[in-house]
Amino acid sequence: MAVIHNPDPSDSKQRGVTRLFYDARIRSIFIQAITLALVLGFLGWLTLNTMTNLAARNLSAGFDFLDVSAGFGIGFTLIPYQESDTYLRVFFVGIMNTLLVAAVSIVLATVFGLIVGLARLSNNWIIATLSRSYIELIRNTPLLLQIIAWFFGVFVLLPRPRQSVELGEAFFLNNRGFYMPAAVPEPGFGVVTATFLACIVGTIALAIWARRRRDRTGRHFPAFFTGFGAIIVLPLGVHLALGSPLGWELPELKGLNFTGGVSVPPSFCALIVALSAYTSCFIAEIVRSGIQSVSKGQLEAAGALNLPANWTLRRVVLPQALRVIIPPLISQYLNVTKNSSLAIAIGFPDLVSVWMNTSLNQSGRAIPIVAMTMAFYCLVSISVSLVMNYYNARAQIKER
Amino acid sequence: METVKERGVLNCQVGLPTPGFYALAEDGTWSGMDVDLCRAVSAAIFGDPDQVEYQSVTSAVRFTSLANAESDMLSRTTTWTAVRDTQLGLDFTTVNFYDGQGFLVPADSGITSALELDGGVICVLTGTTTELNLADYFRANGMSFTPVTNENVNVLVETYLGGGCDAYTNDKSGLAARRSAFPDPNGHTLLPETVSKEPLGPVVRQGDDAWANLVRWVVFGIINAEELGVSSENVDEMTSSADPNIARLLGSEGNIGEGLGVSPTFMVDVIKAVGNYGEIYEKHIGENTPIGIPREGTLNALWTEGGIIYAPPFR
């Protein structure tokens, strides 16, 4: 006869609660709910506290100042700006300048970093030692110091406008900046641009076709070089055939300074040189470590298959090295973007300088301005990070 | 006020060292016209002018620092404007120096008027009224310019001296003060144009009226002292003066100090410590100093001598 245990109702209830307590899933939901409540509560308290204190100190908050005319001049702008424009416009001027610095520095740092990193692996003792000294010297001194040194040590000491360093009467370098001819498109230049864009699209299509054909037939077609050649030669041909429909506006000395053409201030030059040099050292080391991470056996295997040298590099070494190179490279790109804010030390009008310094001071709206600046850097960093992570995911080993 | 008394020290904010107004000596002591105002307020509260903690802050963060109560008062060539007075949680007490913006150019540039600066590169301190006036002036005259900005006045002056800009613009007193410290002061010319009004004076945080009163009346006190002929040298004899105006100022009669929350004889301490307005002016920026800003015939002369330095009576 089976003994039927008749559970006491209160005992069952208690066991229910206990069971809830020991159930990992419920416990974790409970803990997460508490954490979320604490975080939200903290943020709410922070906002309330800030608002109370701002009111207590008679400080105005809010974003209404954005349509007020800023009233100050900016030394270098990519988008048209004049003193009567609004603070919001200043924000965009700052963003464009910051992005320009970041983009130019990233390109230059990557090119230099690649060259120096490869030179570091050279069998030639002089080249290897030179690149190693360059890396050790530049990456072991603070970036701010380098920016200031380039600015005061080089670009401010350049000759005055009347004694500019000239390069073929088109490029001028003096202590007010670097002056270049500006391209002025004339009628017909649109055709050249269209040809150029068509060649890029064509090259991408060609590359896809070449890969499919290789997968199908095993035959190789040099899509990269064909496309690259086409992108350069075809638009150039069209350009010449149409009688060069592109005018050049040369900078010329008028009054106190040069006018016309395109120019960048000395602070921009100093910033770009310092940022690119500094970051290139880190990129060089990343490239070196990536290439050295490819085991020697892979090279020997490629040799055994009698692959040509450039195939060994492009199809064997690089795909494996990139897996090691890309993650730290993402960090470096993010660093450049954030380091560009050091521009304030030499007065280049980047976002931090014109927005978080000048505008903050002239308008007195600290909280909205700092919040907008942080949001911008956050957004840019996250975007760069997402794009590079997507590329990284594609470059990783596919077996897993 | 109570906070300052309890702390025993006045937190007085000045700017980055500038000759004449807030100069830093090699032994770390501060001196200058604006520094003397900090000392005067300290003397009024504690009877001792040296109970001051000087805070040297860039112009870009000066108001934030004051609004956050890091400084008790700000005494540093700061221009009184409507926006600053009404939107930044600040209270401008009074004016102790009337200034105007000018341009400094290298003498060998051959420029003799600000109107010749069209297309020029101008060095300007960021976050200042100067930066706004500069833009206004060029706009009003239909001229163009490229600003070179920095928040650190010393970096900016180095850039100007290195030839990085055609002209350096600031309040004229500031330009004269800077020029006195140049390696070659005569190699630089102050252009004749004055492009703005710059009433400079001490600033306090909004919402503490008693404190604002004290700072305001210390300034009025030293101006009245000059008008009445009371100086640091004769202040002791003057305490027994028969002139009721002097007696009220020095606290031998009446109790003006009580309303301000300080001792009745606070002006005696102040004048002993720093002197009257004229003494302070001549000591730091007058014609016998390297800065050499003449006072006679300018706005900064006493109202009795054709200027507009004028204080309400001690009554």
Q: Provide CB contacts within 8 A for B112, sequence distance 6+.
A: B189, B191, B192
Chain centre to alpha carbon of residue A127? 29
* Mutation for A interface: B57, B63, B115, B126, most A CBs within 10 A: B126
Please write the tens of the pLDDT for every residue from B25-54: 989 899 999 999 999 999 999 999 999 999
Read off the tokens for B74. Answer: 């700000």
What is the β-pairing status of strands B203-205 and B90-92? antiparallel
| pLDDT value of position A4 | 55
Read off the tokens for B24. Answer: 């830093």
| pLDDT value of position A14 | 60
Report helix, strand or coil for A262. Answer: strand
Cβ-defined contact of A265 to B146 (cutoff 8 Å): yes
Please write the tens of the pLDDT for every residue from B93-138: 999 999 999 999 999 888 899 998 988 889 998 888 888 999 999 9
Q: How far is B160 from chain A (nearest CA, A)?
A: 9
Residue A18 pLDDT level (bands cut at 50, 70, 90):
confident
DSSP symbol at A351: I
Read off the tokens for B198. Answer: 């710059």
CATH T-level assignment (fold) for domain B101-196:
D-Maltodextrin-Binding Protein; domain 2 (3.40.190)
Chain B positions contacting chain A at CB under 8 Å are 59-61, 63-64, 67, 83-84, 87-89, 117-121, 126-128, 131-132, 134-136, 138-139, 145-151, 155-156, 158-159, 162-166, 205-207
Closest C-alpha among A6, A30, A61, A2 to residue A370: A61
Q: Once rounded to an integer, what is the mean pLDDT over residues B63-84?
A: 89
Q: Provide CB contacts within 8 A for A132, sequence distance 6+.
A: A120
Q: How far is B292 from chain A (nearest CA, A)?
A: 30
Residues of A in Cβ contact (< 8 Å) with B126: 347, 353, 357-358, 361
* Mutation for A interface: B150, B195, B208, most A CBs within 10 A: B150
Backbone angles phi, psi at A291, to 5 degrees: -70, -40
Query: What's the CA gap between B229 and B217, in Å, rounded?
Result: 18
Query: What's the CA gap between A201 and A191, in Å, rounded?
Result: 15
* Mutation for A interface: B58, B113, B148, most A CBs within 10 A: B148
Please write the tens of the pLDDT for every residue from A258-300: 877 788 888 999 999 999 999 999 999 999 999 899 888 988 8
Q: Specify the DSSP element, H or E, that contains B106.
A: strand B101-106
Query: What's the CA gap between A331 and A348, in Å, rounded?
Result: 24
Please write the tens of the pLDDT for every residue from B248-295: 999 988 888 888 999 999 999 999 999 999 999 999 998 888 888 889
Give A199's Cβ-side CA count (13 Å radius). 21
Size of interface A-B (CB pairs under 8 A): 118
Q: Is the pLDDT of residue A400 over 50?
A: no
Q: What percent of chain A has pLDDT over 70?
A: 94
What is the β-pairing status of strands B167-171 and B120-125? parallel
Q: Once rounded to an integer, what is the mean pLDDT over residues A21-36?
A: 87
Q: Give me the residue spans of the domains in chain B.
A: 2-97+199-305, 101-196
Cβ-defined contact of A361 to B163 (cutoff 8 Å): no
| pLDDT value of position B284 | 92
Nearest to A59 among B88, B136, B166 (CB): B88
Please write the tens of the pLDDT for every residue from B126-162: 888 888 999 999 989 988 888 888 888 888 898 898 8
Residues of A in Cβ contact (< 8 Å) with B131: 72-73, 358, 362
Higher-scoring residue by pLDDT: A53, A44: A44
| pLDDT value of position A376 | 93
* Closest chain B residue to A357, measured at CA: B60
| pLDDT value of position A3 | 52
Read off the tokens for B113. Answer: 């008027």
Residues of B in Cβ contact (< 8 Å) with A72: 131-132, 134-135, 147
Query: Which domains occur in chain A, in start order?
Result: 87-161+265-395 (1.10.3720.10)
Q: Specify the DSSP element, H or E, that contains B99.
A: strand B97-99
CA dihedral A285, A291, A294, A297 (to 10 degrees): -130
Cβ-defined contact of A73 to B87 (cutoff 8 Å): no
Q: Once rounded to an integer, what is the mean pLDDT over residues A129-154?
A: 92
Read off the tokens for B115. Answer: 């109107």
Q: Is the pLDDT of residue B168 over 80?
A: yes
Please write the tens of the pLDDT for every residue from A316-375: 888 888 888 888 898 899 899 899 999 988 889 999 989 988 888 888 788 889 999 999
Q: What is the pTM of this model?
A: 0.78
Q: Once rounded to an integer, what is the mean pLDDT over residues A247-254?
A: 79
Residue A37 pLDDT level (bands cut at 50, 70, 90):
very high
Closest C-alpha among B214, B258, B267, B263 to residue B239: B267
Residue A62 pLDDT level (bands cut at 50, 70, 90):
confident
Is the Cβ–Cβ distance between B170 and B191 less than 8 Å?
no
Residues of A in Cβ contact (< 8 Å) with B127: 357-358, 360-362
Nearest to B127 among A83, A176, A361 (CB): A361
Q: What percent of chain A has pLDDT over 90?
A: 28
Is the Cβ–Cβ distance between A341 and A351 less than 8 Å?
yes
| pLDDT value of position B104 | 93
| Distance in Å from the first CA to the final CA of chain B | 22
Question: What would the DSSP string read from start to end of B121-183?
Answer: EEEEETTSHHHHHHHHHHHHTT--EEEEEES-HHHHHHHHHTTS-SEEEEEHHHHHHHHHTSS
ipTM score assigned to the predicted complex: 0.74
| Chain mean pLDDT for chain B | 90
Q: Is the pLDDT of residue A394 over 50?
A: yes
* Of the listed ranges A220-234, A301-315, B200-214, B294-308, the one predicted with least confidence: A220-234
List C-alpha distances in Å: B234 to A67, B240, B266, B268: 57, 11, 16, 10
Residue B245 pLDDT level (bands cut at 50, 70, 90):
very high
Is the Cβ–Cβ distance between A139 and A278 less than 8 Å?
yes
Q: Is the pLDDT of residue A1 over 50?
A: no
Q: Is the pLDDT of residue A399 over 80?
A: no
What is the β-pairing status of strands A171-174 and A165-167? antiparallel
List C-alpha distances in Å: B107 to A311, B111, B157, B175: 66, 8, 16, 14
Chain A positions contacting chain B at CB under 8 Å are 56-60, 71-76, 83-84, 152, 156-157, 160, 175-176, 254-257, 259, 265-267, 344-347, 349, 353, 357-358, 360-364, 366
Closest C-alpha among A75, A261, A269 to residue A171: A261
Q: Once rounded to an integer, what is the mean pLDDT over residues B6-27?
A: 91
Q: Which residues pair with B12 in a beta bridge?
A: B54, B73
Closest C-alpha among B67, B107, B108, B101 to residue B84: B67
Read off the tokens for A368. Answer: 């909205």
Please write the tens of the pLDDT for every residue from A88-139: 999 999 999 999 999 999 999 999 999 999 899 888 999 999 999 999 999 9
Cβ-defined contact of A255 to B205 (cutoff 8 Å): no
Question: What would the DSSP string read from start to end of A7-38?
Answer: --HHHHHHHHHHHHHH-HHHHHHHHHHHHHHH
| Chain mean pLDDT for chain A | 85
Topology agreement, domain B2-97+199-305 and domain B101-196: yes
Nearest to A75 among B88, B147, B207 (CB): B147
Phi-psi region of B53 (alpha: psi -120 to 50; beta: other; left: phi over 0): beta
Residues of B in Cβ contact (< 8 Å) with A259: 119
Q: Is the pLDDT of residue B228 over 70?
A: yes
- For B2-97+199-305, CATH gives 3.40.190.10
Query: What's the CA gap between B4 and B211, in Å, rounded?
Result: 10
